[in-house]
Every structure is written in C-alpha cells, then in structure tokens.
Structure 1
C-alpha cells in the first residue's frame, strides 16, 4: 500500500481483514465547523474518528503536539490498530489534516498507512455510500490482535531548540506550508494574539500548491516540480512547518510522492514559534 490511495481502491477494500479507516478532520479556530460533529453526520462506512487533539500530548498548552510512544500505543490499541493493520486516513476538506494521521503512524514506526486522495468530498462526488451516527464496535475482521507496539523514529521530528539552532547554521531547509499571506505577514494568523511572519531562512510552499482544485494530489512529476521551484534539490535535509504541525504533514507526504527524502516535521510550528517573544521572525 502506497502513501496515497484512491477512492476506487478504498471502496474495494472496505471490510477486508486488517483495514482500519479514520476520519482525521481538524478545522481551524476561525472555521465554523467541528470535525467530530461533521463525522457523525456522514462518514465512510466503518470509519472511526481520529481526534488529533486526543492523539496528542495532554500536558502542553500547544495544540495536538506529538504524544509519548506509550500514549500513542494505548490509544491505537483502543482504536483497534495493531502492527499488522493497514490504516487509511481521510478528511472532510479533501486534504487538509488527514496527512497528520499518516505522519504520526510513520513517526511511531508503522509504514502501512495511507491518505485517501481527495478525501470525503471526492467520495461523495462519486456517489459512494456513507453512514451517520456513532460507529458500532469495529468488525472482528478489521481489529488487530494484541497491542500496538510503537517504534519511535526521532529523526522525523523537530522541536523548537532544533529550529532555533538551524536559524544560525542553516544546515536544514525549512519549508512553510501556510498560505503565502501568512508567511509574509500580510494576513493575520487565525489564532488570536499570534505574531505574523515566518521563521528566518524558511521558504514558502503553501500546501495547496501541491493539490488540484478538487483536493487531490497533482501528478508526482508536477509535485516534484513545485518542490524544485521552492529550491528543494535533495542536498539539504528538509524540515516542514505550518501553523500547528498539521498541513506541514501534507508537504512531508508530497516529498514522499515526489521521490525526495521526507525529512522531519517541526511539531510546534508557527503556533509555538509565533506565540513566543524570544524567537526571531521575518516578514515580507
């Protein structure tokens, strides 16, 4: 299973042994919807809700930060995911937050994970069935026996200390997935009180540049071209960033699709960086 699956593939695979499907939708603070509420209205048959605010570190004020391996393992086991599971993530906006679930699985050593290309909008447009309400107990065929055992891959993660050092050394290339106006500081951040601008030395590559208007990924060659236009050549290690570590994972997924090394995700992203007074910023 590749990192991206089609609606046709998922429709054929639903209900097969070991397949777990998650709706991983997360709306921004300035959006008037809530992911779980919308999930209850309509979701892919058999899907469960993957709450990125729950599958997170509960002991920080920053949103949906990476949980400990123990917490991640416990929650995945409760959700019926084992080391033999195939896990597919989708979201309600085409592609915005599902890649966070995919990236978390890889961070904790599970490579049999994918994102549904085009998400729920494409599924609905094609007239495919949905369910409403709370999902029932997972089908015995899809529940993995035993517990999920994590294998944490620290190289896929960056913290604020790493990024502060990189501002001085420029050893790694930082790609910012936010919209261009947020990167330059021309548009205010959706989180109240947040400074505007970007990490010094980072490069703007809005995640939407990798997508077609319908929320599906552009062909691999086009995705590679977008990265190359942003200065990516594979020579420097890469770090992706965004508002809060969610759409940065779309750039990471895009790097995989384009054949570049995936690099790492700066988990705190701009919510952490722009929310502190001791971090340097650039505008324009």
Structure 2
C-alpha cells in the first residue's frame, strides 16, 4: 500500500465499513455543536479543547487523560481509527497527530472531511454513541519524535531545519494578530518567526477541501521554497492548521517533520523572542 492509502480514505471506503466493530470513527470540529446537527453513523464526538488539550495548562493531555479518552471511544489494540471534521480536517489532523504521539499507528483521515461527506449525500445521524466498555490500548510515552518545542524552533536554523509558517499571508506579514473571529487566539505581537517560509496550509487542498495528489503537493510546496528532502517544523497560531501541514509532509510525502503546537500564540507572547514582519522570511 502507498503512504496515501495507509493514512487517507475516501467516502466509499468508510461507508462500506460503517458496521466494522474494529473501526473507531471520531468527528473533531472547531465547535462540537456541529456534531449534534448530524454526524457519520457510529462516529464519536471529540471536543478538541476538552479532549485533546490539558484541562489547566496550555499543553497536551497527559497519558492518563488520553487513556480515559481512548476507553470512552473504544480505542483498543486492534482498532483502526478514522478521523474527520470541519475546516478541511484542521482539528482532525491535530487529533491524528496527538494519537500518533501516543503510539497509535493504524490511523486514517477522511479525505475532505465533513463537508465532502455531506456534499456527497452520504448518511448522517443524530444518535450519539454510548461509551465503550472495552479495554483500551495503553498509550505509549509521548516522545518528541513528531513534536517541536520553542527551543527546537529557536535552534532550527543551526540544525538545518526549515520553519514553515502555515497561517494566512496577512498573519505572516504581521498585518493582523489573528483572523477575524479568533480574537481569543491572539498573541501579544504580530509577525512571524525569523527565517520561516510562508506556506499557507490551504495550498495543499483542492477547492472542495480534498488533499491534492502527491505530484501536485510537491510542485506547490516547492514553489513556496520548501525543500522536501530537509527536515521541517510547521507552526500556525495554535497548532491545528500546522498539524494539517505536518500530516501532508510526514504522512503523505514521507518527509521528516514536527509540529510546533505552541505556535504563534506562544512565540508571539514570550518576552525576548525574535520576530520578523513583512513578506520576507527575515
């Protein structure tokens, strides 16, 4: 199987397997209310702010919290997990990245996410899935293999690692702290990390939200100056869009990549951190 077949599925693949007892389906939206409007039959709801983040500190959930989540959704050793959501799978890719950090390998993203499933007229339900009574798999120790911290970012240039800023060009230039509607995600300063390339996340998707094929991805990324043979660290504002680009680089293209989930909210608020503005990396 190709890397794409191992990490990405389409609606036909998923609809044929909705009754598979070893399949765990999770919807991860920006706002969980969307799930209650109608979701894929059998899908669990993951609240990315509650389930995929620490309840107190701005950090990832610890292993015990992840184990409780996996018990609730029925993620056992034999499970195959399919994740999908709105916004072309921003938050679904964040969940994918988090699950991967904790040792799950049998993971898939539904190509195009929620909007494509709905557009194709596939089945939806409002029935919620009861909590599973299964014995969950044990989370592995969360390592640094796929995650970057601010110190890694600060040392990136010295270590031959390229930084990819996947926010909008306006955020990159420093014209705005955050897009309209995301005031709670603003940092203290605007701009980008010096040396970072501007690689908006949406260059990887088609008009309908599906991911482009490998050749198109390589062409578009190269046009933005990305060296696909060199390691990369992706970042955005809070780590969800950069998880999408991490998925493209690492899972689809087989590159060496890490996601900086602290992203601009952390970097742009820390005293003494270098910042660049304008069109150029700086």
Gaps (5+ residues) in structure 2?
A: none
Match of 1:87 in 2: 81
Match of 2:48 in 1: 52
Alpha-carbon deviation of 1:176? 1.2
Tell me whether 1:205 sits opposite 2:199 in the alignment.
Answer: yes
Alpha-carbon deviation of 1:273? 0.8
Match of 1:39 in 2: 35
Alpha-carbon deviation of 1:234? 3.7
The answer to whether the Cα contact below 8 Å between 1:81 and 1:144 also exists between their aligned partners in 2 is: no
Alpha-carbon deviation of 1:148? 1.9
CA shift in 2, pair 1:193/1:201, >3 Å: closer
- Whole-Å Cα distance in 2 between the matches of residues 193 and 174 of structure 1? 19
TM-score of the superposed pair, with normalisation by structure 1: 0.87
CA offset digits 1:51-77 (Å, max 9, x no partner): 1212222231x3xx3222232122212
Number of equivalent positions: 267
The answer to whether the Cα contact below 8 Å between 2:249 and 2:255 also exists between their aligned partners in 1 is: yes
The residue correspondences of 1:79-228 to structure 2 (distance < 5 A) are 79-132=73-126, 135-137=128-130, 145-151=134-140, 152-166=142-156, 169=158, 171-189=160-178, 190=182, 191-192=185-186, 194-228=188-222
The answer to whether the Cα contact below 8 Å between 1:223 and 1:258 also exists between their aligned partners in 2 is: no
- Whole-Å Cα distance in 1 between the matches of residues 165 and 159 of structure 2? 15
Tell me whether 1:259 sits opposite 2:253 in the alignment.
Answer: yes
Match of 1:10 in 2: 14
TM-score of the superposed pair, with normalisation by structure 2: 0.88
- Whole-Å Cα distance in 2 between the matches of residues 195 and 208 of structure 1? 24
CA shift in 2, pair 1:160/1:226, >3 Å: same
The answer to whether the Cα contact below 8 Å between 1:19 and 1:86 also exists between their aligned partners in 2 is: yes
The answer to whether the Cα contact below 8 Å between 1:23 and 1:98 also exists between their aligned partners in 2 is: yes
The answer to whether the Cα contact below 8 Å between 1:19 and 1:87 also exists between their aligned partners in 2 is: yes
Name the SS for the 2:82 alignment partner: strand
CA shift in 2, pair 1:145/1:258, >3 Å: closer
Name the SS for the 1:156 alignment partner: coil
CA offset digits 1:234-279 (Å, max 9, x no partner): 4432111111111111111111355232411111101111122321
Name the SS for the 2:6 alignment partner: coil
- Whole-Å Cα distance in 2 between the matches of residues 192 and 232 of structure 1? 27
- Whole-Å Cα distance in 2 between the matches of residues 147 and 96 of structure 1? 26
